[in-house]
Every structure is written in structure tokens, then in C-alpha cells.
Amino acid sequence: MSRISARTRNEWITAYSFLLPNIIGLLIFVFIPILYAFYVSLHDWNALSPKVFSGLDNYKVLLKDDLWWASVRKTLLFSVIYVPLLYVLAIISALLMNALRGKVVGPVRTMFLMPFAITSVISAIIGMFMLDPRNGIINHLLGLAGIGHQQFLGSTAQAMPSIIGVILWINIGYNMIIFLSAMKEIPRDYYEAAYIDGAAGWQSFLSITFPLLKETSTFILIVTTIGSFQALDQILVMTKGGPANATEVSVLYVFKQGFELLNMGYASALAFVLFLIIFCLSIIQLKFLSLKK
């Protein structure tokens, strides 16, 4: 066994001391609560009376809970539509921003970011107002264009797309900025070299920009996916899971079980299963994204 050099050991120590505040913080304020939540999932608990141990009962129940699995399907549907859309729109916007020069840059960038400045609850409320079937401005404009009134949030078919639209609106700007920052890191010389070689526009994007954005893309895709499984505020405000459960996604179901029905034990079990689903998805995504080169 080779001796570990002082330099390597120094590296280990520095690394861990750099990580220490976050390790401690995450441990105390996130991980232990998660463990506690798992502990609760093994009980019957309504938050107001003492817990009653019930072992894996909650998990057995959830396997047969049709409403739960329906919510999982809805969540996946939401994700599958939202994440790619956000990714594509954010990248395209970033490309656009990157190509802009001159005085327009500042204002346009600010305009894209503004939706993010409004609280998610307020943006949801604005979205609701604008999408109102009778008095909303969107329908008004559609009417002017000759298209009939839509029900949007009041229709079981349109509610989900409407919510996706609002959440996209909120988040495009911010994710665009992240892509933009990464794009700016790419040295100009790369593009110049490619230009000399005869590549331009779309080709240079494919061969230079896109590959160099891999780390950022990975980040955005994973974080957005994880986030899409947890989008609660907007849905609570806009539809509460309706109409007729059309927008009842998993996290909403967990919240309902936990805080409206006070089935804390069951809600924790559901959350745990949700966590496992997200975890597996993220691993798959990471593997897939690291392979793709």
C-alpha cells in the first residue's frame, strides 16, 4: 500500500472543510427531517394525537391507491411536457440574447427576467385573471382573432396546459440567464476558428455551443425535472387539483393527505415513494446525460 502523500491528505482535509458547513446544515435542516418523515410514514398519525405504529401498512395501502397512481401519471405527463419545453425555450432565448448587440440587450434581458421577480403566487393569480373564461383578456384577444372563448382553467382538458403555460412563463427568463452565462464563457476564438473552417449559424451551434453547454444542460434538465415534481404553489392557487382532479399531481395529493385530511403517516409514505421516483429518474437522467457525448 502506497503511503498517502501529505499533499493528497491536505486535499482531502481542505475538501471536507469546504464542504463542512453545508454537510452540517443539510444534515440538520434537511436530512434529519427526511429521516423523521420516513419514521412517521411507519405510523398512523394525524398530527394532533399520538402516533400509532403501523409498520408498512401505509405502503401497502398506497400500492392500491388508484388516486395516488393517477396523480403519478399526471405528474409524469406534466413533467414530460414541461421540462423539454422549458429547456428548448430557454436555450433558444439564450441564443437570441447572445446574438443581440447594442442597446436592446439590457431591456430585453430585463423583460425576460421580470416574470421571475413576481412571486409564484401572484403570477398564478395574474394567470388566473388573464385566463378567466368570461372576463379574461386572453379570451378577449382570442375573440378579436375570431377564435371562440376557451375554458382554460375551468376545463378538464385545458387546465393542465394552462398551468404549464403559466409556469413556463415564470421560469423561462431565469433559466435563459443561466444558459446565457454559460454561453458567454465560450471563448470567441472557437467561433472564429469554426467560421474560418466554413461552419456558421446552425452548424456552429451544433458543433461548438451545444456540446460546451453540456454541464449547464445537465444541470437545467435535472433541476427542472426535480422541480416539476414539486410544483405546488401555482396549482394550489389556480385549480386546487381540479377540475375533477385533472390537475391533481402527486405533490398536491401528498399535501392534501397531510394537511387537509391530516393523514400525516400516509402522506409521509407517499412523499417517500415520490422521492424514490424522483431519485431514480434523476439517476437515469444523469447516466443518460453523461453517456451522451
Partner 1 sequence: MGKRWKGLTIGAVAAMMLFQVGCGNGNSNGNGNGNAAGKNDSPAQTASGGGGKKVKLKFWDFHTEKEEEFFKGLVDEYNKTHDNVEIEYSTFNQADYTTTKLPTAFASGDGPDIYMISPGDFMKFAKSGLMADLNPYFPEGAKEDFLPASLDAVTVDGKVMALPFELELLGLYYNQDMLSNAGVEVPKTWDELYTAAKKLTTDKVAGLILPPDKGPYFNFIWYPFLWQQGGNVLNAEGTESTFNSPETAKALDFWGRFFREGISPTKLQQGPWEIDHLGKKTAAMQIVGTWAINRAEEVFGDVPINVAPLPLPDGGTAATDAGGWKFAVNAKSENADEAAKFIMWAFAEDPQRALEWCTQVKFAYSPRKSVVEQGKDIYSKGMRKVFTEQIYDSAIPEPRYPSEVLDVVGDAMQQVMFGKTDGTQAAKDADGKINEALKKINK
Partner 2 sequence: MKLNNRIVLPTVGILFGLLMIFPIYMLVISSLRSETDVFSFSLLPVQMQIGNFKAAWLDSGLPRTILNSLIVSITVTVVAMVFHAMSGYALARFRFPGKTYVFAWMLSTLMVPFAVIMIPLYLITKNLGLANSYAGLIIPSIFNAYGIFLFRQFYVTFPKELEEAGYMEGLSLSGTFFRLAFPLSVPIIVPLTIGFFLANWNAYLWPLIITQDEKLWVVQQQLAHLVGGGYYTPWNIVLAAAVIAAIPTFILFFVSQRYLVEGIKMSGIK
Q: How far is the CB of 12 from partner 2 (least distance, A)?
A: 4
Of the candidate spans 61-69, 73-81, 152-160, 223-231, the one that interacts with partner 2 by CB under 8 A turns out to be 223-231
4/11 Cα distance (integer angstroms):
11
215/232 Cα distance (integer angstroms):
27
Q: Please identify which residue in 239, 247, 250, 268 interacts with partner 1, judged by CB under 8 A.
A: 239
Residue nearer to partner 2 on the CB measure, 156 or 292: 292
29/35 Cα distance (integer angstroms):
11
Cβ neighbour number for residue 79 with a 10 Å cutoff:
21
- Angle between helices 66-99 and 264-291 in degrees, nearest 10: 40
Q: Please identify which residue in 85, 233, 240, 262 interacts with partner 2, judged by CB under 8 A.
A: 233
Binding track, positions 154-183, relative to partner 1; x by CB under 8 A: xxx---------------------------
Residue nearer to partner 2 on the CB measure, 165 or 243: 165
- β-partners of residue 44 are 52
Residue nearer to partner 2 on the CB measure, 116 or 152: 116
Residues numbered 65 to 84 that lie near partner 1 (CB under 8 A) are: none
Of the candidate spans 48-56, 71-79, 144-152, 271-279, the one that interacts with partner 2 by CB under 8 A turns out to be 271-279
261/4 Cα distance (integer angstroms):
57
Residue nearer to partner 2 on the CB measure, 156 or 210: 210
Q: What share of the chain is helix, strand, coil (3-state, %, to 5)?
A: 75, 0, 25
- Answer yes or no whether residue 110 interacts with partner 1 by CB under 8 A: no
Specify whether the CB–CB gap between 169 and 178 falls below 8 A. no
269 grid coordinates: 409514505
- Answer yes or no whether residue 137 interacts with partner 1 by CB under 8 A: no
| Distances in whole angstroms, Cα of residue 124 to Cα of each of 21, 101, 149, 165 | 35, 33, 20, 11
Specify whether the CB–CB gap between 156 and 243 falls below 8 A. yes
Residue nearer to partner 2 on the CB measure, 33 or 156: 33
Residue nearer to partner 1 on the CB measure, 136 or 173: 136
- Angle between helices 159-184 and 214-228 in degrees, nearest 10: 150
For residue 293, the partner it binds in partner 2, partner 1, none, with Cβ less than 5 to 8 A by kind, is none
- Answer yes or no whether residue 242 interacts with partner 1 by CB under 8 A: yes
Which residues in this chain contact partner 1 in the complex, by CB under 8 A?
A: 17, 21, 46-49, 128-129, 131-135, 151-156, 239-245, 256, 259-262, 264
